[in-house]
Amino acid sequence: MEKQQSPEEKQEALWEGVLAPKGPDGDPLPFQSPEAEKAFKERILRFKDAIQMKKLPDRVPVTIFPSMFPWLNAGMTVEEAMYDYGKCAEAFKKFVKDFDIDVHWGAAAPGPGKFFEIMDYKLYSWPGHGVAPEHVYQCNEGEYMTADEYDALIQDPSGYFSNVYLPRVFGSLDGFAMLPFLPGILEMYGVAFNFIPFGLPPVQNTYKKLFEAGGEALKWAGAVGGADGELATLGYPNILGGFTKAPFDVIGDTLRGTKGVMLDIYRQPDKLLEAMDAITPLMINMGVGASTMTGNPLIFVPLHKGADGFLSDEQFKKFYWPTLEKVLLGLIEGGCVPLPAAEGGYSTRLEVVQDLPKGKTLWMIDLTDMADVKATLGVNACLLGNVPSALLNLGTPQEVEDYVKKVIDEAGTDGGLIVCNGAFFDQAKPENVKAMVDTTKEYGVYK
């Protein structure tokens, strides 16, 4: 039997993989110059050293983790970025080169507009479908899972998703509501009955839509993947492996909705806890699986409804943190580096979340005071942040420079810091964004 790799070995293997990238044909990726190859490796190691907190990198790494900024800054509308995959990829490549960041996060943020149309996606409004061409897509909050459906979700999460939830959020998946119960397909006698739905027009129509949507997704992935590949040959790595979510947010964001999940805390707390337990291993598998597939170690975990002001300390400790902690530890166990984004303020949560294994996580910090974070969570975790959107939007390059220096002084003098924006932004003055990058490169050198 093959010896089981330890979590550390798994992670090292992932880092080795990203340091030796392969082209689409499986051969080593041809860099455009020896300088590009050198820069590529230096940038990855700079990130790795900052995250692992074992030794100081040569300087504080810097990145930009934007929402629609790369495309708006290129003079495009969000609509164009969503519908013209080629233009989307070109603008993103230019963005990475112009701002010359250490690592980038890929051009996938706009997503394929045509795909969303084919699927009749109801969960979001996007340009031309509920929001203006120049505006970013936004979630249509709702109660997509009803209060009495917890048992169905707990007993068979995949079946609940395929037959109940997905047909509600994708109009084109309405045929899935008729799919057979797959664990019931057991023996020859009567087995054909299970396949009758596939002969019916609604199911067949859904599959036709799926073929079309899959083709569209592939076309889009080719364009954004191509951008990744070309940027790598120029020396700019993308080490994002995928994403997963806190189980409380899985239920609260897009299943029960904010109101639903908040009421469930009082009306059916046991069901809520049970459901979060049921989906916790799935959320771990989702992250580890994505990391294995892409070969990249970082798994993004956007945190929403556990921020300051949403829940009491007791509610956070009882409902939000236990399953999130399990997800983070499960990702670490699988060799990944979880990247939780503490959107909003997290001051009241720092004490609870601070005891994670050292050098294994990277936390994106938004509005929380960086000195406070450094003194608590930052003892064991590398921090990513936290230049505010308002400053990038309305400030001057000098103000951005001052802010970045303050962040480095407060949170970066002994490693464990990557300078970045604090929240996902669309609009900003490019000279301010540039000042964030340039200041870090000059001021953040470790001597």
Partner 1 sequence: MSKKLVNAIADMKEEEALNIAKKMVEDGSDPTAIVDAAREAMDIVGQRYEKGEYFLPELMLAGEMMAQITEMIKPELAKMPEVKRFGKVLIGTVEGDIHDIGKNIVTFMLDVNGFEVLDLGVDVPPQKFVETIKKFKPQVIALSGFLTLAFDAMKETVGAIEAAGLRDDVQIMVGGGQVNEEISKYAGADAYGKDAMAGVTLAKKWTGAK
Q: Which residues bind partner 1 (CB under 8 A)?
A: 67, 125, 130-132, 134-136, 138, 140-141, 258-259, 262-263, 265-267, 305, 309-312, 315, 388-391, 393-395, 423, 425-428
Q: Which is nearer to partner 1, 147 or 196 (CB)?
A: 147
State the nearest-atom distance from the C-beta of 427 to partner 1, in Å. Answer: 4
Helix extents (H) in 53-156: 69-72, 78-83, 85-99, 113-119, 150-155
State the nearest-atom distance from the C-beta of 99 to partner 1, in Å. Answer: 17
Residue 427 φ/ψ, nearest 5 degrees: -95, 140
What is the C-alpha to C-alpha distance for residues 113 and 427, in angstroms, rounded to an integer? 20
Helices 430-443, 397-411: crossing angle, 10 deg rounding = 40
Two tokens, residue 122: 């109801």
Question: Beta strand pairing status for 417-421 and 362-365?
Answer: unpaired
Q: Which is nearer to partner 1, 301 or 311 (CB)?
A: 311
Q: Which is nearer to partner 1, 115 or 425 (CB)?
A: 425
Q: Which is nearer to partner 1, 102 or 401 (CB)?
A: 401
What is the C-alpha to C-alpha distance for residues 393 and 436, in angstroms, rounded to an integer? 12
Helices 321-333, 269-294: crossing angle, 10 deg rounding = 20
State the nearest-atom distance from the C-beta of 389 to partner 1, in Å. Answer: 4
Cβ neighbours of residue 430 under 8 Å, at least 6 residues apart?
A: 73
Q: Which is nearer to partner 1, 136 or 284 (CB)?
A: 136
Alpha carbon 46 to chain centroid, angstroms: 21
Q: Which is nearer to partner 1, 127 or 335 (CB)?
A: 127
State the nearest-atom distance from the C-beta of 229 to partner 1, in Å. Answer: 30
Q: Which is nearer to partner 1, 208 or 259 (CB)?
A: 259
Helix (H/G/I), strand (E/B), else coil: 181? coil
State the nearest-atom distance from the C-beta of 111 to partner 1, in Å. Answer: 17
What is the C-alpha to C-alpha distance for residues 57 and 53, in angstroms, rounded to an integer? 9
State the nearest-atom distance from the C-beta of 390 to partner 1, in Å. Answer: 5
On the 0-12 / 13-18 / 19+ scale of CB atoms within 10 A, 189 is exposed
Q: Are 92 and 101 in contact (CB under 8 A)?
A: no
Q: Which is nearer to partner 1, 283 or 367 (CB)?
A: 367
Q: Are 386 and 407 in contact (CB under 8 A)?
A: yes
State the nearest-atom distance from the C-beta of 120 to partner 1, in Å. Answer: 19
State the nearest-atom distance from the C-beta of 397 to partner 1, in Å. Answer: 15
